[in-house]
Amino acid sequence: MGTLGTLKSAGVRAGDEVVVPAYGNAEVAEAVVRMGALPVFADVDAGSYCLDPAAVSDVLTGRTAAIVAVHRFGRRADDGWIREVGQRHGLLVMVEDEPGGAGDGLEQRRLHAAYLDARLNGVRTPAAAAGHTYEQYVVRVPGNGRPDRDAFARALRAKGVACRVPVQVPVYRIPGLRREVFLPETERAVDETLALPVHAGMSRRELQRMVGACNALGGLLQPAF
């Protein structure tokens, strides 16, 4: 049925508020806008990149009708706690998969991720989580913000590593969805995250080259805590 159909069938109406993630794709917030409701952006958990239940609680008002959480990069949202928040306040809670996730090669992706977890330094590897499918292997490049991550990415691409920045801007800065908010974990995630390839067809030699390139560059960066 999709986000829009589910919200409508559940009785969400124009003018209602719907809590949505600030980090990730814009499809959920755009669906809320199309039905005349108001997307309210909540911050994410630093480890999962999914909605932080405490941040959700902070943005609830008397006009809130629903919460939409999204699994991110193959890591599941904390839907148990989010559903508890929803039940406490009498709200509809939806938990969705991220659009465009890769469905095949799961075991090989997990093996690649385990190899990288054990060998990468100079970047922060993904937080361990049961059931992680590594649809994207997202590391953090610590430093002084976006210039460090972007320079790191350019250097990796020059060495043949097909890395990508998974989220370019917070959803609340996208035209048509812009809000005057500043969510610190979302901002840090946008500035620091980088997706490294872990698709099933990668060879061990490709993984070794990527590890060597990352580790050689990572030592040049100073973590910012």
In tens, the pLDDT along 206-219 reads 999 999 999 998 65
d(CA 149, CA 217): 11
Where the chain has pLDDT below 50, the residues are 145-146, 220-225
State how far the alpha carbon of 203 is from the alpha carbons of 23, 107, 138, in Å.
Answer: 31, 14, 19
Q: How far apart are CA 225 and CA 223, in angstroms?
A: 6
Residue type, 195: A
- CA separation for the pair 60, 170 (Å, rounded): 20
Q: Determine whether 119 is exposed, middle or buried from the number of CB atoms within 10 Å of its CB (0-12, 13-18, 19+).
A: middle
Could you tell me if 109 and 87 are in contact, meaning their C-beta atoms sit under 8 angstroms apart? no
pTM (2 d.p.): 0.90
Predicted confidence (pLDDT) per residue in 47-95, tens digit: 999 999 999 999 999 999 999 999 999 999 988 999 999 999 999 999 9
CA distances (Å), origin 103, targets 12, 106, 186: 31, 7, 26
Neighbours of 34 (CB within 10 A): 11
